[in-house]
Amino acid sequence: MIKYHETAPIFQVFRYKSVCNVRVDPSAQDNAAIRSSSEHGYLDLFNLLLSDYRVNPSAGNNYAVRSAAKNGHADTVKILLDDFRVNPSDKNNDSIRLAHSNGHVKVVIPTFGRCAPCSNH
């Protein structure tokens, strides 16, 4: 099975033709494309996918915001938080806990505000 991050260059080449084509569903496989692009920090592809009404950034229990926070993709997290469908407190505040435990202060403080565990940063 080919994982999405291995096919990212293909998406970059065909991004405009594919997403604008109604026969291609960018929300296929429970929105795997946006979940993976947020996890790996492909911001251009992420923004393109998010512009399609069929894509749900909260799929997989808000996996996109949780994985972006975990991996320190602050720009992606900020965009996700502007979407009313995204709940960063899902799964017991997993987003902020993962960002903090992985040392991503740039995600925690500007995005979520100062928190007690972060007071020493």
Residue range 35-67, pLDDT digits in tens: 999 999 999 999 999 999 999 999 999 999 999
Instruction: Using the predicted structure, report yes or no on whether residue 85 has a pLDDT greater than 60.
Output: yes
pLDDT at 111 over 80: no
What's the one-letter identity of residue 121? H
Domain boundaries, the chain: 4-118
Contact of 65 with 57, CB cutoff 8 Å: yes
Class of domain 4-118: mainly alpha
Long-range (24+ apart) CB contacts under 8 A made by 14-18 are 15/44, 15/45, 15/48, 16/48
Confidence of residue 117 (pLDDT cuts 50, 70, 90): very low
Please report which residue ranges of the chain form alpha helices under DSSP H.
8-20, 28-40, 43-50, 59-70, 74-81, 90-101, 105-107
